């Protein structure tokens, strides 16, 4: 538990250092300051390139408001407290309970990796993982199948709606079949429309 607490203390102190300057320090500057702030003496071209990339990083650096900083600090503190509570609970467990707890976590991680792999195979965003992850592989497959059908249906409806707005009805859709049938009935056979 001591190592666990030390890990979160270091992580919390890094977060505090990152946000202590108002969030104006870019990641490139942070890496430079951690490396000692030394630049290579590779000539004027290397220095100009470093200066140009630094100025570009400065212009793209995100600044944070005090409210955002406080929210980030609170989130880090809450995560730290939660992990400390989990560590305390883990220390109170008997060896058998610890084994069962670790096996349960390992199984959940395995199912999460399985679901993430299936999402990527189906060309779905991995951010949908909480929606398709089931208690086991079969449950995950069933949820993914249901979600994929609904997702594809919604995407197709959106595409058709977009085409209709632009006055184009794609072939192979229900709307195009009904309109093509009406056009065939309205035009007599053998008459050219040139």
- pLDDT digits (tens), the chain, 194 positions: 667 777 777 777 777 766 665 544 444 444 444 444 444 444 444 444 545 555 555 556 778 888 888 998 999 999 899 888 988 888 888 989 989 989 999 999 999 999 999 999 988 888 988 888 989 999 999 999 999 999 999 999 988 888 888 777 767 666 555 555 555 555 556 666 66
pLDDT at 121: 92
pLDDT at 103: 93
pLDDT at 113: 94
pLDDT at 167: 77
pLDDT at 89: 87
Q: Three-state SS string across the chain, please?
A: CHHHHHHHHHHHHHHHHHHHCCCCCCHHHHHHHHCCCCCCCCCHHHHHHHHHHHHHHHHHCCCCCHHHHHHHHHHHHHHHHHHHHHHHHHHHCCHHHHHHHHHHHHHHHHHHHHHHHHHHHCCCCHHHHHHHCCCCHHHHHHHHHHHHHHHHHHHHHHHHHHHHHCCCCCCCCHHHHHHHHHHHHHCCCCCCCC
């Amino acid at each position: 538990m001591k190592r666990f607490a030390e890990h979160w203390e270091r992580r919390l102190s890094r977060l505090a250092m990152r946000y202590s300057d108002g969030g104006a320090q870019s990641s490139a500057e942070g890496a430079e300051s951690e490396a000692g702030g030394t630049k290579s003496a590779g000539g004027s071209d290397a220095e100009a390139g470093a200066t140009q990339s630094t100025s570009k990083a400065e212009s793209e650096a995100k600044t944070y408001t005090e409210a955002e900083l406080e929210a980030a600090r609170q989130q880090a503190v809450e995560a730290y407290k939660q992990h400390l509570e989990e560590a305390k609970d883990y220390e109170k467990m008997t060896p058998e309970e610890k084994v069962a707890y670790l096996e349960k976590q390992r199984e959940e991680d395995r199912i999460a990796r399985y679901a993430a792999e299936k999402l990527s195979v189906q060309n779905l965003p991995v951010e949908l993982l909480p929606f398709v992850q089931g208690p086991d592989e079969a449950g995950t497959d069933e949820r993914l199948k249901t979600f994929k059908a609904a997702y594809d249906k919604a995407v197709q409806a959106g595409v058709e709606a977009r085409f209709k707005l632009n006055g184009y009805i794609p072939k192979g859709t229900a709307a195009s079949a009904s309109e093509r049938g009406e056009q065939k009935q309205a035009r007599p056979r053998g008459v050219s429309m040139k």
